[in-house]
Amino acid sequence: MRNAQAKSRTEAIRAEFADYLTDFAKALDVRLDGKQRLQLSGVSIGRGSEGPRALLAYYLAFLNVSASYSSCVQCPIVIDAPNQQGKDRTHMPAMMKLMIEKAPEASQLIIGAEDQYGLEDDDIEIIDVSGEKDHVLRLEQFDRVAEVMRPYLGLLT
């Protein structure tokens, strides 16, 4: 416990986080406070499309630092509809590229997006989950899936 709480370890974690966040924010065209003011507990978020980009930079920095300093198994990273607040043609491809290239190495990254935004087929694996137009779930599988999930749903009551 003493090693985990050592001041030098805390400073190293904060410095690595600030380095990641600074690099990721620069790649996504996000303005940040001075490097010495960056905190693990949150980031000052810009307005408009800069907000989601700032959050992405923050979360990727946090996940990378967590992967560096933790022995825990990394959970899958799921990003649904990264095109929030209508990114322009410059920022959306940069966001997709950053997610693919800078997610922690041992993690699984799942992006729910309606477009590849400049990524090539060789860079990613595309899984089409649509069954019908404007539907993700498949009606013919409902009963089978519901039967599997029913015992777990009963535990929630």
SS (H, E, C) 88-150: CCCHHHHHHHHHHHHCCCCCCEEEECCCCCCCCHHHCCCCCCCCECCECCCHHHHHHHHHHHH
What pTM value is reported for the model? 0.75
Please write the tens of the pLDDT for every residue from 65-114.
Answer: 999 988 887 889 999 888 876 666 788 999 999 999 999 988 899 998 88
pLDDT of residue 35: 58
Specify the higher pLDDT residue, 152 or 137: 152
Q: Is the dihedral of CA 41, 46, 50, 51 positive or negative?
A: positive
Specify the higher pLDDT residue, 99 or 38: 99
CA distance 102 to 51: 19
Assess contact for 64 and 99: CB atoms under 8 A.
no
Specify the higher pLDDT residue, 54 or 127: 54
pLDDT at 28 over 80: yes
pLDDT band at 51 (very low <50, low <70, confident <90, very high): confident
What share of the chain has pLDDT > 70, as a percent? 80
